[in-house]
Structure 1
Amino acid sequence: MSRSKIVVIGSSNTDMVVRTSHFPEKGETVLGGEFMMNPGGKGANQAVAAARMGGEVVFVCKIGKDVFGSQSAELFEKEGIDVSYVLVDEENHSGVALITVDANAENTIVVASGANAHLFPKDISSVESIFSPEGFVLLQLEIPVETVRYIAAAAKSKGGKVILNPAPACELPDEVFSGLYMLTPNEKEASMISGVNVQDLDSAKKAAEIIYKKGVEHVIVTMGAKGALVFDGLEYVFIEAQKVVAVDTTAAGDVFNGALVVALNEGKSIIEAAEFANKASAIAVTRLGAQASAPYRGEIMEEVSK
């Protein structure tokens, strides 16, 4: 199955989730709703999703010396993730995210980054031995941009294939893009990076072309319930999303990226990998929670056989 270890580097949070009928307006208090506390963080979500898909995953993150951090590390081990490079910050708290999910399964998220914001290049320099030729490194943007830039350069210097999921959306220096194996923005992120207002397939194609010209080898624009657009500089391929009744979209993109990197690591083509990732994210949105929503590989195989 997996040809080499997959390195995921990013954030680990504890998600505090409230379900509500609607998002409150400024100054409004909304009563009622279900409360849940779940493990999350984009890096951790993607690491768990990749592990459940059958990948051999090494996760690099920084947690606080607190109950949230210790619980997260225990959960990673239970998922079969290599936690040898999970770092403990003696001074800062573990990351926490406050999430509100409305009746339409849309969400708003506020993150207190804590230790995630203190994962610096000096921390990565001690773990560079895990980067390997042709090995995949999966990154997101809930850690400092300077660290993302450092990791991308270090992994590429060893012949690694770096996939950056540019979420949450933020301004990025152009040198981050140069030499990336793949960028996987959603519509909002693609709009910010390209300067094109992505609203439909045509605008997504324009954005993907601009991003490609920044030096990215492959671009996948994820478009939610519509599907995903794949561009390799020569051909556009649009992959329609499966039709499901969404309950919570919180970690759909993370599940997509985790499944995608596993399929690529197994030697599947980019189109095959994107189709596989689409199936995984379609299952994820039918469930509550972040990491809890990530399906296991067998569930996707069951869907394929139907």
Structure 2
Amino acid sequence: MKKILVIGSLMTDFVFRTSKMPNTGETFIGEQYEKYTGGKGANQAVAAARLGGEVSMIGKLGNDEFGKEHIESLKKERIAHQSVLFDDISRTGVGNVTIDNDGNNKIIVVPGANLALKTIDIMNNEKLIRDADIIVLQLEVPMDVVYQCIDIAYDYNKTIIVNPAPAQDFDQSIAKKVDYFIPNEVESGLLTGKTINNIEDAKEAADILISAGYKNVIITLGGDGAIFVNKNQFKYFNSIKVSPIDTTAAGDSFIGTLAYGLSKSWNIDQTIESAIKASGCTVTKLGSQPSLPTWKDIENLKEIVK
């Protein structure tokens, strides 16, 4: 099995359940409150590790109570965490997640120590990149760090996965170095200027990204599944129909499972189909990391399909 290295964010999530989203200036009484370890990077690492992947992580935490909780969580998931660093100035990143009865969410993120991850930290841990096979990146850490990681991984001929979330300008000269570029419909729309209303719109956006140089583009479409596009192939993958409770980590579950499938050398169809099933499991539970599935959860998914 190939080794997976996730370089990215760790956040403490405060999750609020409410029957409806409050309007501007409105105070509304919620129904439930929980605190979980999260962050796109950590979620994707946990998603891959929980399926049985060999996973390590590079990131930065505040030297505080939340930071210590993250280390305990990584230990529990058997994720190599020696290169998850502590910052004495910034606090651990936090996210405020508000979820309504339909499973829709609104999220505010304060990155905190994630933005203190520096290029020197990557240079000091270059051996981890050299020793890994698959590198997974998101955009909740500084962009110069993301670009540096891509450059180093490319030089070592690693498989590079980039989840451009949260969406922001991305240096197109880097595109040719990225093996799998995986935005959702909102992110792909922002990156291409193409509004995504249907599968054909998604394909047109993916074609724009392929023209920019990305080798393989996967656009996740929430409850409508996903598409896979490269210069030679277009394929649509249908979704798994479930009753959503919390969609917060669905994309992270997809990407972590995709990385795991690549680490097992599965073909792209099996890999994406498994990632969609994992996302379907994830949205049926509250919280980001608590909702990430095991293989048993994925195998039992038929019990909750409509």
TM range (shorter): over 0.9
Aligned pair count reads: 304
**1:170 pairs with 2:159:** no
2:121 aligns with 123
* Cα contact 2:16–2:30 (8 A) shared by 1: no
Deviates more, 1:165-174 or 1:89-98: 165-174
Separation in 1, partners of 2:48, 2:146: 20
Separation in 2, partners of 1:123, 1:260: 27
* Cα contact 1:12–1:95 (8 A) shared by 2: yes
* Cα contact 2:4–2:132 (8 A) shared by 1: no
1:7 aligns with 5
Matches within 5 A, 1:1-306: 3-132=1-130, 135-303=133-301
SS at match of 1:279: helix
* Cα contact 1:62–1:119 (8 A) shared by 2: yes
Unaligned runs of 5+ in 1: none
* Cα contact 2:281–2:301 (8 A) shared by 1: no
SS at match of 2:259: helix
* Superposition deviation, residue 302 in structure 1: 4.0
SS at match of 1:36: strand
* Cα contact 1:230–1:271 (8 A) shared by 2: no
* Cα contact 2:43–2:252 (8 A) shared by 1: yes
1:169-213 CA-partner distances (Å, limit 9, x unpaired): 112221232220010100011111112111110110000011011
* Superposition deviation, residue 48 in structure 1: 0.5
Separation in 1, partners of 2:253, 2:228: 17
* Cα contact 2:218–2:228 (8 A) shared by 1: yes
* Cα contact 1:57–1:82 (8 A) shared by 2: yes
Separation in 2, partners of 1:282, 1:170: 27
SS at match of 1:98: strand
- Could you tell me which amino acid in structure 1 is paired with residue 107 of structure 2? I
Counterparts in 2 of 1:63 and 1:215: CA distance versus 1, 3 Å: same
- Could you tell me which amino acid in structure 1 is paired with residue 110 of structure 2? A
* Cα contact 1:133–1:159 (8 A) shared by 2: no
Give the CA RMSD over aligned residues: 1.5
Separation in 2, partners of 1:199, 1:147: 33
Unaligned runs of 5+ in 2: none
Separation in 1, partners of 2:287, 2:146: 26
Separation in 2, partners of 1:246, 1:84: 35
* Cα contact 2:150–2:160 (8 A) shared by 1: yes
Separation in 2, partners of 1:93, 1:62: 10
* Superposition deviation, residue 33 in structure 1: 1.7
Separation in 2, partners of 1:88, 1:204: 40
* Cα contact 2:3–2:132 (8 A) shared by 1: no
Separation in 1, partners of 2:53, 2:212: 30
Separation in 1, partners of 2:123, 2:302: 42
* Cα contact 1:8–1:57 (8 A) shared by 2: yes
- Could you tell me which amino acid in structure 2 is paired with residue 157 of structure 1? D
Separation in 1, partners of 2:205, 2:73: 38
* Superposition deviation, residue 299 in structure 1: 2.2
* Superposition deviation, residue 134 in structure 1: 7.8
- Could you tell me which amino acid in structure 2 is paired with residue 48 of structure 1? V
* Superposition deviation, residue 168 in structure 1: 1.1
- Could you tell me which amino acid in structure 1 is paired with residue 186 of structure 2? K
1:260-293 CA-partner distances (Å, limit 9, x unpaired): 1000111011221100100100000000000010
- Could you tell me which amino acid in structure 2 is paired with residue 28 of structure 1? E
* Cα contact 2:182–2:219 (8 A) shared by 1: yes
SS at match of 2:36: strand
SS at match of 1:84: strand
Deviates more, 1:222-231 or 1:128-137: 128-137
Separation in 2, partners of 1:142, 1:52: 22
